[in-house]
Amino acid sequence: MCSSDLLLGAKGTQIGAGGIGLRGSRFGGGGTAEPLGVIGTTGSSGYGRGAGTFGAKADSPRIVAGAPMTGDEYRNIDENPFHTVADSPLSTFSIDVDTASYANVRRYLQEGTAPPTDAVRVEELLNYFPYSYAPPTNGAPFATHAEVTAAPWADGHRLVRIGIKGKEFAAEATPPRNLVFLVDVSGSMNGADRLPLVQRGLTMLAQQLGPEDHVALVVYAGAAGVVLPPTRGDRTQELTSAIERLSAGGSTAGGAGIRLAYDLAKENFRKGAINRVILATDGDFNVGTTSDAELVDLIEEERKSGVFLTVLGVGRGNLQDAKMEQLADKGNGNYAYIDSISEMKKVLGTEVGSTLVTIAKDVKIQVEFNPAQVSAYRLIGYENRLLAARDFDDDTKDAGEIGAGHTVTALYEVVPATTRVAAEVAPLTYQGARAPTERSASGELLTVKLRYKEPTGDTSKLLSFPVHDEGSSFAAASADTRWAATVAGFGMLLRDSPQKGELSWAWVRDTGREALGADPGGYRAELLSLIDKARGLARN
């Protein structure tokens, strides 16, 4: 295929500033298009790469029989330790609804390979699954829930589950959509698990659009260009034809593509609509704006426009997971890894509302532990989302977003005050212990506070509620809490966490089977099969 096949827009549409959709034509901005069909080679060095053993750091690769070598890159994760309440009574973090880690872990296990340790983000495993949390009834964008039970992997410890359920929209109530598909068509996107998978997903989404919706298509390889200008959503044949004509080749000018996509979204910005860029890439940006810091700065500047970002990661062998996670976090958006057409159907089909419709932004959680009830605690996961205590009340600090119908789950392992623990630091010379307030005698275990902004707002609102521990056993816990403990245990065993306590693969498998519940979509049953695969790898 020649380069003009990629550039040709619907009905001969011109592409970019001064570019035309003819053979030998240029992308907008004057950059020369590189020939297509050339498979890019990466192999660049990076942190967190390699297929690892269970518990081995990601930079200690192990070659598994039949498994490909990998140059995938992940952000380093140092697991949250226990904190003493006397020294650190507040735990603060940004909400996270990304699910990329689960799909990526699934891909490794299905290929017969242990995932790199830093590819396992426990909060993203937890939030991959739906939970039966009740939706809000008081006009708030989400409802909050909590449950306390015994921690099954540590005798005497308690497990606290905090759950959030976003309000849902009926299909007919979904706001109009102003979407820009931004597709990486560089050489690294060759392969059935990359560009062809993206094309099928975007075609699927295009077929759901109506006359009130508008969508544009931007691509980038050696340079960036507009394949399809903003087009009404009911012109399905025009949209799908433009998507089907894409082909991969050349280097990757990701920064230029991001700028062009945001420019289009801003030019066609519609108040009250869903204004969003959907970026599909393996994250291998190697032309122009390439450093993580430059890309983050670019996204942080662009998000001020009110255009949100969804990142769909694809491919294997040079997946730039760390980069895509950062871009989604800073772009007021979400990050999903697409390893199959079924996952694409989940993200852009079954869960398209939560993927595209934001109901609250900059959502932060702060938990204050009662020293009369708790001596120490640890947050399970969310290491990449931790905030300073002072950030909770600072409306200039960015945090996570919640989509329509989203469920969010966070777990704390708590050490009761009756159990003595070592202090984080030695006693201070000039300061003594804090004096307890009258409320410390209330019997409350902790207080959960949440701050959030309306999708178009700049000032946060505060929600707060106390949580008591009724002393429930793990066997008496709800199916949702037992399932959450199963998923957390799965993640801790994959990471060979120093906090895994008495966990075993058999316990994770048996507990998960008993907590399946209704299991809409069969996602929980799928995890049981992955547990079996991981258990087999651990034995070998």
Give the pLDDT confidence of 476-518 residue by residue, as tens digits: 999 999 999 999 999 999 999 999 999 999 999 999 999 999 8
What Cα–Cα distance (Å) separates residue 530 from each residue in 50, 252, 272, 429?
Answer: 20, 34, 41, 52
Q: What pLDDT shows up at residue 465?
A: 96
Give the pLDDT confidence of 349-364 residue by residue, as tens digits: 999 988 999 999 999 9
At 465, is the secondary structure helix, strand, or coil?
A: strand
Which has the closest alpha carbon to 531: 505, 513, 503? 505
Give the pLDDT confidence of 93-106 residue by residue, as tens digits: 999 999 999 999 99
- For residues 404 and 32, the model is more confident at 404
Q: String of b and e for 45-61 (b: at least 16 CB within 10 Å)?
A: ebebbbbbbbbbebbeb
Per-residue confidence at 288, pLDDT binned at 50, 70, 90?
A: low
Mean pLDDT of 314-336: 91
Q: Is 433 exposed, middle or buried, given 0-12, 13-18 or 19+ CB atoms closer than 10 A?
A: exposed
Provide the residue count of the chain. Answer: 540
Q: What pLDDT shows up at residue 285?
A: 67
Distance CA 111, CA 133 (A): 34
Cβ–Cβ < 8 Å for 200, 235? no
Q: What pLDDT shows up at residue 55?
A: 38
In the predicted structure, residue 180 carries a pLDDT above the cut 90: yes
3-state DSSP percent of the chain in helix, strand and coil, to 5: 30, 20, 45
Distance CA 309, CA 331 (A): 5
Q: What pLDDT shows up at residue 289?
A: 55
Give the pLDDT confidence of 113-153 residue by residue, as tens digits: 999 999 999 999 999 999 999 999 988 999 999 999 999 99
* Cβ atoms within 10 Å of 425's Cβ, excluding its own: 9
Give all strands (DSSP E) within 282-348, no chain letters. Answer: 308-313, 334-337
Question: In which order are the strands placed within the sheet that holds 158-166?
Answer: 83-84, 374-380, 407-416, 158-166, 142-150
Distance CA 230, CA 244 (A): 17
Backbone angles phi, psi at 150, to 5 degrees: -70, 140
Most confident range (mean pLDDT) of 233-242, 246-255, 287-296 is 233-242
